[in-house]
Amino acid sequence: MIPMSTNHTPRTYADIIRHSFTSLLITIGLIIVLTVSITLTVDQLLRAQDQAERLSASLQTTQVSNFKDWLTVNRSSGLNSHNTFVLIKNNDGTTTSLLPHGSELVKASNWSIPFTHLVYIKGWGLYFSETLRTGTHTYYLFIGMHVLVGNLHVLISVLIIAIGLSLLVGLLYVRRLAKSLSAPTISLATAAQQAAANPDVSQPELPQPTEPVEVAQLARDFNQLLAAQNGRLERERQFISDASHELRTPIATIRGNLKLIERRGKQHPEVIPESLGFIDQESLRMQHLIENLLHLSRADRAEVDLKPLDLAKLAQAVVTHYQPLVSQRVTFASPKQPVMVNADADMLHQILIALLDNAHKYSPSDQQIHVIIAQTATTSTVTVADHGPGIPVADREHIFERFYRMDASRSTKIAGSGLGLAIVSQLVQLNQGDITVTDNDPHGACFTVTLQNAAATK
């Protein structure tokens, strides 16, 4: 498996959740601060604008020109005299301040905030400014925004404290949440590591939590994978055991006859031909067994290139060549038109020979063997039917297993390695087909191989 590239150190559940929670809380806090600050600022600006309009109206009416008149106007307007003052610029260029320390205000540096009437005066603070021109004077109104600044300070301080407390409480909760969420995954990973440490033994199921759903699904998938692995391991063990058992018998027979010749060959030379016959028979049996094992091994690793071929033509050629080799009469029936399927010709030939061998072994010599080709809109079938004893329903799901023999009495009477039908099943799967077993009428078995039509897969 190719690991995903990463430019940072892998993080735990707790790290990921903690980082996400902190980022979310800070983002929400900043949004709240900005929203409330903007709302509060707009409200204060509107209030200052209203005060400036009332003050401008009073100035236009009274034409204030000295500090005494300004106090009268200021009291009547209800404004805070400590935060509100006026500078008057006369036509002759002189400036009058309606404030005890107005001269200091004129000399102080100031910065205007773009797109607003706000002005920051160094040493004085933030003010709302407005200019009013009359016939002989120009009034510069300054209304203090100290309340706004104070409120913003309080608001930001409160929010910083609230966010800090929320982070503290939230991180404690996140720690518990991460531990709760990671516990099923850690348990699953630990069990998987223990299973990986013993690959040659059957693995128990991994623990499957009920939640989170994603981890539960992952555990189910792992268990399905383990079940498949356990099944494969068990089949390999059984295969090795069965192969060893099947090979032990001919080897034991060969060694026994060799010892018989060694002990009694000189005194009783008549035993030599008989023993050599047994040796030849058992060595041939062992050769067939090894060849079948090689076929299975190659089939497990085979890469098949399926090509269109005429199933009826190939099956008829197999029947023609097979008929002289057996005592039973082999019949053949197929449609008149070509039956085109997607398959590998050599594998299909091997499948037909194996099914005919099986029918020949279990059929009486005076009974026929039938090979029937049929076709539907999407699939084609080749059926090999015999009139032997048939196959019990309970055995049909096992007959394609390696070394499976239906019963001991039949195994001793009929030669075979128990690998023929396993090879057939493997070859059929490689050709993307299916094989089934049914009863023949009035008795016997029908093996039907189903393949995809060539036209249906285009």
Structure confidence by residue, pLDDT tens digits, 152-189: 788 788 888 887 888 788 778 877 877 777 777 777 77
pLDDT confidence of 40, banded at 50, 70, 90? confident
Same domain, 258 and 309: no
User: Does one domain contain both 383 and 451?
Assistant: yes
**In 3D, which of 421, 446, 399 has the Cα closest to residue 299?**
421
Q: Is 3 a domain residue?
A: no
Domain boundary among 298, 331, 365: 298
**Is position 203 within any domain?**
no
Confidence category of residue 409, pLDDT binned at 50, 70, 90:
very low
**Do 65 and 124 have their domain in common?**
yes
> Residue 349's domain is classified under what CATH number?
3.30.565.10
pLDDT digits (tens, 9 = 90+) for 289-303: 677 667 666 665 566
Statement to judge: residues 383 and 282 lie in one domain: no
345 with 390, same domain: the answer is yes
In a shared domain, residues 309 and 449: yes
User: Which of these, 148, 179, 137, 124, lies nearest to 13 by C-alpha position?
Assistant: 179
* 173 found inside a domain: no
- Looking at the structure, do residues 383 and 398 belong to the same domain, yes or no? yes
User: Do residues 323 and 393 both lie within one domain?
Assistant: yes
Domain that holds residue 323: 305-457
Give me 364's structure tokens: 């009486």
Question: At which of 273, 298, 323 does a domain end?
Answer: 298
pLDDT band at 381 (very low <50, low <70, confident <90, very high): very high
Question: What is the predicted pLDDT for the residue at 65?
Answer: 55
Instruction: Examine residue 34 and state whether it is found in any structural domain, yes or no.
Output: yes
The verdict on residue 177 lying in a domain is no
Q: pLDDT-based confidence at 1, cuts 50/70/90?
A: very low
Residue 326 domain-assigned (yes or no): yes
Do 360 and 381 fall into the same domain?
yes
Residues 331 and 257 in one domain: no
* Sheet with 110-112, edge to edge strand ranges: 95-97, 84-90, 137-144, 125-133, 118-121, 110-112
Cα separation, 453 vs 450, whole angstroms = 9
In this structure, is residue 290 part of a structural domain? yes
Q: Are residues 285 and 418 in the same domain?
A: no
Q: Does residue 406 lie in a domain region? A: yes
Q: What is the 3-state secondary structure (H, E, C) of the chain?
A: CCCCCCCCCCCCHHHHHHHHHHHHHHHHHHHHHHHHHHHHHHHHHHHHHHHHHHHHHHHHHHCCCCHHHHHHHHHHHCCCCCCEEEEEEECCCCEEECCCCHHHHHHCCEEECCCCCEEEECCCEEEEEEEEECCCEEEEEEEECHHHHHHHHHHHHHHHHHHHHHHHHHHHHHHHHHHHHHHHHHHHHHHHHHHHCCCCCCCCCCCCCCCCHHHHHHHHHHHHHHHHHHHHHHHHHHHHHHHHHHHHHHHHHHHHHHHHHHHHCCCCCCHHHHHHHHHHHHHHHHHHHHHHHHHHHHHHHCCCCCEEEEHHHHHHHHHHHHHHHCCCCEEEECCCCCCEEEECHHHHHHHHHHHHHHHHHHCCCCCCEEEEEEECCCEEEEEEECCCCCCCHHHHCCCCCCCCCCCHHHHHHCCCCCCHHHHHHHHHHHCCCEEEEEECCCCCEEEEEEEEECHHHC
- The last residue of one of the domains, among 251, 270, 298, is 298
Q: Which residue has the higher pLDDT, 98 or 400?
A: 400
Of 53-57, 160-164, 405-409, the range with the lowest mean pLDDT is: 405-409
The count of structural domains within the chain is: 3
- Which pLDDT score, from 0 to 100, does residue 411 have? 45
pLDDT-wise least confident of 179-188, 350-359, 422-431? 179-188
Higher pLDDT, residue 354 or 244:
354
